[in-house]
Amino acid sequence: MTPAEDSAAPLPRSAVSLFEVSRVATLYRVPVYVACAVLALAVNYLLGKEMAWDTLNHHLYSGFSAVHDRFARDYFAAGVQAYLNPYAYVPFYALTSSGLSALQVASLLALLHAIILCLTYELALVAFPSGERRQRVGICAVALASVNPILLQQIGTSFNDITTGELVLVGWLLLAAAVRRPSAARVILAAALLGAASALKLTNSVHAIAAAAVLIMLQRPLGERLRYLTTYALTLSAGFAIVAAPWSYRLEKTFGNPFFPLLNNVFRSPEFVTEPLRHLRFIPSSFAEALWRPFAMLNPVPMVQEEITAPDPRYAVLLVLAGVLLMQWLWRRYRPMPAPAPNESPVDARVLAALGCGFAVDWTLWLMGSGNGRYFLPLGCVAAVLLVGLLFRVCATRAKVRNYVLAAIFATQALQLWMGAELRWNGVAWNGGPWFDVELPQKLTSEPALYLTMGSESYSFIAPYLAQGAGIINFTSTYPLGLSGANGARVAAMIRQHAPHLRVLAYGARVYPDGERRKPSVSDVNGAVRRFGLRADTQDCATITVHGLPPEVEIQFTSSLPAPSHAGNLPESGSADTSHLVSCGLVPDYSDHSSDLARERSAGVVLDRLEDACPQLFQPRRPPSDNRGSTWTRYYINSDLSAWVSHDEIQFMDRLRDDKIVHLGRESDWLRAPMKVSCGRSGRHYFATVLGPVAAR
């Protein structure tokens, strides 16, 4: 029977539902769904409002740019994230701009996020198709999914990992139901949803690819399985193309790359580096480290699967249970074991095996691609179902042992959540006000201008509050912009278009005289904007006040350069949760900066040679350099490293892990000849040692 014939054939009454749950009374579902909603609302309320770096620097802007055409007005306004598909952030922008309070907005988002727990319950029912205790099994799976610290972090927040992950989980649920009773309709709908989820967030493509492994367990001959796989692949591609097309068309028209800035090694837009992008932040550095990752997640330390602490023992337990089940299978070859007790909830072995195959493939691809726990949330829910399923298989005749193991898992994770996990990114207390409490001077709300924002932080959350027609260029972000090359041509054209209505935007209550030794100083601002032939008019400055930012946000608002951070640069007045941005007008600078050109060339030669000597650390190679006075810096997106040339010294450091500065010799030595460098990555840290000049051939 072909997929088309299968979909046309009449199905039994019990198979009418795509989700294979029609025989479970709705009455049993309602309490579970209500409990999931109540749990989400309670977690959201207790953890407070989220004001993470991502929220301030690209989440709000992404939703704003999806609704408003910003391509002609902005350029890298939210850094490289400004051009990722923004449509999944539209609900957050719409809610925050609706006039609702922050608590109301977050509560609505929490209810939306609670759906992922309901879907986990439904997936458990598919894996446990019969038995009087299947409801308890489903509830147990929901409980295991809900103790995921990263899931708890994101409930009621602006992050879109849960919302797009729900599409992924529906797709896996449909495929699991198709394993029990094959149906082309289920496969096609699953593929379409997974394609849409991948288009909205490209990291979901890992789950879409791995889901094909679930279809291997279809109860069909090999030829029909291949036809189902072909149908799945074609529908997946179509779903991705349909959802991605509107945004990809605009990127292609503007930059010549439909996935800009990603895949630029293929499409080669002149406005971004053409080397591959592969974020190494959480990717294991060795095979041994990859094997150890499930157990490394037990340790309540940051930078394991996320930037903050998020201990999670479930994956280690899952791996141990899989090993025990394998040993039981080997033992049965020589000695039979008793069958499961008839009053226990039997597991559908084929569904469990299908989910296990898909999960193993997904885990492998995820570790190779990112290793970021935020991108693994839907499969974290699948892991909860697998854990319960394996536990019931392993302890089929030992109900007490099973219950003790479950109690131990919950107790361990509860202790981890209480003592070691950070459950909100920069959380602040609810105060009845809006999500963003921004006060702008009347001048900035009525007079449109082009804002050049300083710092690796984009401050793009300001965009919706500026005067209509205003534009933003974040020119010192992780991808610095100057007046050379294709980037320079676009920046120069935008400056000419808006002149003389040009302003700089920086973190701080005001621009301080150099003698006060506070940030930002006059020389800081002028040193940054002089690449455009501009300087700050300190007589035309205005201060933006932002309420509700916790001190942690201020600490993270640091430059990518090895300069003093803004931490401790507290407002001159106001409460501790009040922060400021200062904006000054920009006027032409007619000073002679010809000496900077020679300095730029020599610094570029040195940094190029450093990249060629150690490409495994300094990648992608040949990013633009950022100039701050006598310092020339390059930021390497893949490895989170900053390398700079300053005062005849070459140095680098890992900003994210706050490692110590590594010295790589004198600039003059590197200018005379390329150097040989011993470098690499050991665990979570990078190292490099200069061995001497490269021998002449």
pLDDT digits (tens, 9 = 90+) for 119-158: 999 999 999 887 667 888 899 999 999 999 999 999 999 9
Under the banding of pLDDT at 50, 70 and 90, the label for residue 331 is: confident
| Structure confidence at residue 511 (pLDDT) | 94
| Structure confidence at residue 696 (pLDDT) | 63
Res. 472: pLDDT tops 70: yes
Q: Which domain holds residue 319?
A: 21-50+84-419
Per the DSSP assignment, residues forming a β-bridge with 453 are 474, 505
Under the banding of pLDDT at 50, 70 and 90, the label for residue 17 is: low
| Structure confidence at residue 337 (pLDDT) | 55
Pick the residue with more confidence: 662 or 346? Answer: 662
| Structure confidence at residue 568 (pLDDT) | 37
Res. 7: pLDDT tops 70: no
Q: Do 410 and 453 have their domain in common?
A: no
Asked if the structure places residue 429 within a domain, the reply is no
Q: Do 190 and 251 have their domain in common?
A: yes
Average pLDDT over residues 465-475: 96
Nearest to 288 by CA among 682, 686, 656, 687: 682
Under the banding of pLDDT at 50, 70 and 90, the label for residue 49 is: very high
| Structure confidence at residue 339 (pLDDT) | 54
How far is Cα 58 from Cα 158, in angstroms, rounded to an integer?
10
Q: Do 528 and 601 have their domain in common?
A: no
Q: What share of the chain is helix, strand, coil (3-state, %, to 5)?
A: 50, 15, 35
Which of 419, 450, 465 lies at the terminal end of a domain, its last residue? 419
Measured between alpha carbons, how far is residue 32 from residues 37, 118, 142, 588 in Å? 9, 7, 9, 65
Q: Do 187 and 241 have their domain in common?
A: yes
Pick the residue with more confidence: 387 or 567? Answer: 387
DSSP one-letter code for 81: G
Asked if the structure places residue 431 within a domain, the reply is no
Q: Do 245 and 323 have their domain in common?
A: yes
Average pLDDT over residues 419-443: 91
Q: Do 483 and 621 have their domain in common?
A: no
Taking only the tens place, the pLDDT of each residue in 479-496 is: 999 888 999 999 999 999
Asked if the structure places residue 90 within a domain, the reply is yes
What's the chain's average pLDDT?
A: 88
Lowest average pLDDT, out of 164-168, 346-350, 432-436, goes to: 346-350
Asked if the structure places residue 510 within a domain, the reply is yes
Res. 576: pLDDT tops 70: no
Pick the residue with more confidence: 337 or 675? Answer: 675
Pick the residue with more confidence: 426 or 370? Answer: 370
Under the banding of pLDDT at 50, 70 and 90, the label for residue 18 is: low
Taking only the tens place, the pLDDT of each residue in 92-123 is: 999 999 999 999 999 999 999 999 999 999 99
Which of 569, 591, 613 lies at the terminal end of a domain, its last residue? 591
Res. 558: pLDDT tops 50: no
Does a cis peptide bond (omega within 30 degrees of 0) precede residue 520? yes
Asked if the structure places residue 286 within a domain, the reply is yes
Pick the residue with more confidence: 129 or 194? Answer: 194
Res. 420: pLDDT tops 60: yes
Q: Do 261 and 316 have their domain in common?
A: yes
Of the spans 465-474, 552-561, 590-599, which averages the highest pLDDT? Answer: 465-474
pTM: 0.91
| Structure confidence at residue 326 (pLDDT) | 87
Percent of the chain with pLDDT over 70: 90
Lowest average pLDDT, out of 304-308, 409-413, 550-554, 560-564, goes to: 560-564
Q: How many CB atoms lie within 10 A of CB 442?
A: 9
Q: Do 608 and 660 have their domain in common?
A: yes
Q: Do 556 and 636 have their domain in common?
A: no
Structure tokens at 182: 């094959």
> What is the domain count for the chain?
3
Query: Given the structure tokens 């994230």, which residue do they identify?
Result: 81
How far is Cα 216 from Cα 522, in angstroms, rounded to an integer?
64
Asked if the structure places residue 73 within a domain, the reply is no
Q: Do 207 and 325 have their domain in common?
A: yes
Which residues, at least 6 apart from 574, have a Cβ–Cβ distance to it below 8 Å? Answer: 545
Average pLDDT over residues 264-276: 95
Asked if the structure places residue 6 within a domain, the reply is no
Which of 591, 620, 641 lies at the terminal end of a domain, its last residue? 591
Asked if the structure places residue 16 within a domain, the reply is no
Under the banding of pLDDT at 50, 70 and 90, the label for residue 559 is: very low
Calculate Rg over the CA atoms of the chain.
Answer: 27
DSSP reduced 3-state for 661 = coil
Res. 557: pLDDT tops 60: no
Residue 137 host element (H or E): helix 134-146
Nearest to 54 by CA among 67, 45, 63: 63
Q: Do 180 and 249 have their domain in common?
A: yes
Res. 552: pLDDT tops 50: no
| Structure confidence at residue 598 (pLDDT) | 79
Q: Do 166 and 97 have their domain in common?
A: yes
